[in-house]
Amino acid sequence: MELIKNISTAEQPYLFTRHVHFLNFSRFGGDQPVYINIIRDPVNRFLSNYFFRRFGDWRGEQNHMIRTPSMRQEERYLDINVCILENYPECSNPRLFYIIPYFCGQHPRCREPGEWALERAKLNVNENFLLVGILEELEDVLLLLERFLPHYFKDVLSIYKNPEHRKLGNLTVTVKKTVPSPEAIQILYQRMRYEYEFYYYVKEQFHLLKRKFGLKSHIRKPRPTPEFFIPSPLETEEPIDDEEEDDEKWLEDIYKR
């Protein structure tokens, strides 16, 4: 209730960005906010988190020590393949069941890997989110955000492509990141099967939304990667302004929910 009150009474325009499990404001008498989100390939997300906790990024050589000061040296330099193949807790559930709970919501069963949490997460994506994009197609996400919420995201793609922003973004790349063996990756993939079912569902819905608004993307020639990894980010052509009345009606319906 305190979170709902703080968000609902904030001066507009207001953008709240945190790791928060989905909360239905209307159940507690509040006005439902406009929910947006971006997810990424589950294995890529896990690997980034694994190495970031240990070694941080280029913003500072010691920031990983600040984040995980109690981590022992043998744990910090634990080979990712050993962690996965020997079933260390960090490389098995529940750490691998990560994305779905945020979309599933506040129910205790949302923390349990399974069909119930998966289906509830899908339902919330359909009924309560204006947009859920995927990080591997970030430029498309930004174009749609500018289209749907121009008051917040005007010129966002130009800002994103600005050299100064690129320079800042490069500093957040995780250091000392390595790719596990194919065997280890396959094990991760199997352990994250619910996460991948959700990820591919969101990706399919996102592509349907792109087509609805006339975004046509073509894939650059990808670098060699494990077969289930997402290819390189897409290049996006400018949106095609057709069926504009239907598009605007669709947005109005979303805001009425």
Query: What is the SS3 assignment for 41?
Result: coil
How many Å apart are CA 209 and CA 168, to the nearest integer?
Answer: 30
Q: Are 172 and 59 in contact (CB under 8 A)?
A: yes
In a domain, 232, yes or no: no
Q: Is residue 219 part of a domain?
A: no
Instruction: Give domain status of residue 246, yes or no.
Output: no
* 183 DSSP β-pair partners: none
> What does pTM read for this prediction?
0.80
Report the C-alpha gap between 132 and 38 in whole angstroms. 5
Please check whether residue 248 lies inside any domain of the structure: no
| CATH for 94 | 3.40.50.300
Residue type, 250: W
Residue 179 lies in a domain: yes
pLDDT digits (tens, 9 = 90+) for 188-230: 999 999 999 999 999 999 999 999 988 876 544 444 444 444 3
Distance of CA 8 to the CA centre of its chain: 24
Tell me which residue has tokens 């991948």: 196
Q: How far apart are CA 183 and CA 199, in angstroms?
A: 21
Query: What residue spans of the chain are helical by DSSP H?
Result: 2-8, 42-55, 63-67, 73-76, 80-85, 99-104, 115-128, 138-148, 150-153, 156-161, 163-170, 182-191, 193-212, 244-256
| d(C-alpha 2, C-alpha 14), whole Å | 17
Is 192 within a domain? yes
Q: Is 19 an annotated catalytic residue?
A: yes
- The torsion defined by the Cα of 221, 225, 227 and 233, in degrees rounded to 10, comes to -50
Torsion of CA 102, 108, 110, 111, to 10 degrees: 80
What does the pLDDT profile of the chain (257 residues) look like in tens digits? 888 988 888 898 888 998 899 999 998 888 899 999 999 999 999 998 888 888 877 666 555 555 677 788 888 889 999 999 999 989 987 679 999 999 999 999 999 999 999 999 999 999 999 999 999 999 999 999 999 999 999 999 999 999 888 777 766 777 778 899 999 999 999 999 999 999 999 999 999 999 998 887 654 444 444 444 433 333 344 333 334 444 445 445 544 44
Range of the domain at 130: 20-26+35-213
Placement of tokens 């069926």 in the chain: 243
Rounded to whole angstroms, the Cα distance separating 78 from 66 reads 19
Structural domains counted in the chain: 1
Domain-embedded: residue 1? no
* 62, part of any domain: yes
Annotated catalytic residue within 19, 64, 151, 218: 19
